[in-house]
Amino acid sequence: MMQVHGKIHSFPKEIKALLAVFLVILSIGFYTGLTFVNETTAANPEGIESHYNGNETDENATTMQFKKSKREILTLVHNHIISLSIIFFLLSLILSTTSINKKLKHFLMFEPFASVLLTFGGIYFLWLDIGWMKYVIMISGMLMTLSFMAATILILLQLFKKQA
């Protein structure tokens, strides 16, 4: 396993400032995305399903939604898997320089990648009419969000930790 010799709390001030600004801006983007998800799916399993598979058969629907095309689904899955993989890779690199508990660090470094696959792979399978995937999407999306939150908070705490 690769050893990182410098710990984040011992980085030069300008690197700490750069990392802090990066994490704040990244968080704004991440949480804006979550706001969009909430607006489009109502953050519930039925909303997730109707967002991707439409609700044409629901006579009580206030807004008509149609099933996404194959091109739309593939674009969404592709873009999110690529971009979130890069985001979590960068976050994991930064997290690797912290002095937090090793098991927690490893969990926060690797769990988001599983959640990305389950969430966006789940969206594809939901689109293929495997209805129970909406629950997988919801749980993995929550885990991804909790991992992001925990990692960013722990990194920020470590950035401002006094050098021992």
Residue 37 located in a structural domain: yes
3-class DSSP state of 54: strand
Residue 4 located in a structural domain: no
- Residue 152: both structure tokens together: 């960013």
**pLDDT value of residue 4:** 46
Sign of the dihedral defined by the CA atoms of residues 135, 138, 141, 143, in that order: negative
- H or E, element range at 33: helix 13-41
Could you tell me which of 44, 37, 18, 31 has the C-alpha nearest to residue 155?
Answer: 18
pLDDT level of residue 2 (50, 70, 90 thresholds)? very low
pLDDT tens, position by position, 42-71: 888 988 988 898 887 777 777 888 899 999
Could you tell me which of 90, 94, 87, 101 has the C-alpha nearest to residue 6?
Answer: 94
Q: 43 lies in which domain range?
A: 10-159
**pLDDT value of residue 63:** 81
Give Cβ neighbours of residue 94 (< 8 Å, ≥ 6 apart).
8, 19, 23, 155
pLDDT tens, position by position, 113-151: 999 999 999 999 999 999 999 999 999 999 999 999 999
Give Cβ neighbours of residue 46 (< 8 Å, ≥ 6 apart).
134
Residue 40 located in a structural domain: yes
Lowest mean per-residue pLDDT among 50-54, 82-86, 131-135, 154-158:
50-54
Total domains in the fold of the chain: 1
Residue where the block lists tokens 């937090």: 100
CA distance 14 to 33: 29
Give the DSSP per-residue string, 94-118: HHTTS-S-HHHHHHHHHHHHHHHHH
**pLDDT value of residue 1:** 43
